[in-house]
Amino acid sequence: MTSKNSKRAGILVASAIAMAATMGVAGSANAAEMEKCYGVTKAGKNDCQVSGGSCAGTAKMDRSGKHFVAVPKGTCDKLAGGTTTAM
């Protein structure tokens, strides 16, 4: 079932293979130097981590979760159409 589309696609794949061969493999050059460090996770993702904030653990947490009044104060105000005011 080699349809017309399949033939055309096949020709383009062949061209792509030839083209890729001239482009060189971008990944192979840095493959050696970018060896993945197994077992190293992003900071904060270590499951055994004890939080650095644990000394503050006896402090009472603010429990006013039901009265969430904070508004975003980050870089979102750079985005046109992104409002920083609650509804």
Partner 1 sequence: MSMLLESQRAFLGAIFSPAAADAAAALIRHDGIAQADRLQIYRNNTFILLTEALADTFPVVKRLVGGEFFDAMAKEFIVAYPPMSPSLLEYGGHMAVFMETFAPVSGLPYLPDVARLEWAWTKAYHAADAEPLTAATLADRGSSDLGELRFRLHPSARFVTSDFPVGRIWEANSADGEPEAISLDDGPSHILVIRPEAEVQVRLLSPAAFEFFLSLAGGATVAEAFSDPDFDLQNALAVALTDGTFSRNPA
What sign does the dihedral 47-49-52-55 (CA atoms) show?
Answer: positive
Site for partner 1 in 30-49 (CB under 8 A): 30-31, 34-36, 41-47, 49
At its nearest, how many Å lie between partner 1 and the CB of residue 38? Answer: 10
What does each C-alpha distance from 61 to 9, 56, 57, 58, 73 come to in angstroms? 62, 10, 9, 9, 22
At its nearest, how many Å lie between partner 1 and the CB of residue 39? Answer: 12
| Residues forming the site for partner 1 (CB under 8 A) | 2-3, 5-21, 23-27, 30-31, 34-36, 41-47, 49-51, 53-54, 56-61, 63, 65, 68, 70-76, 78-87
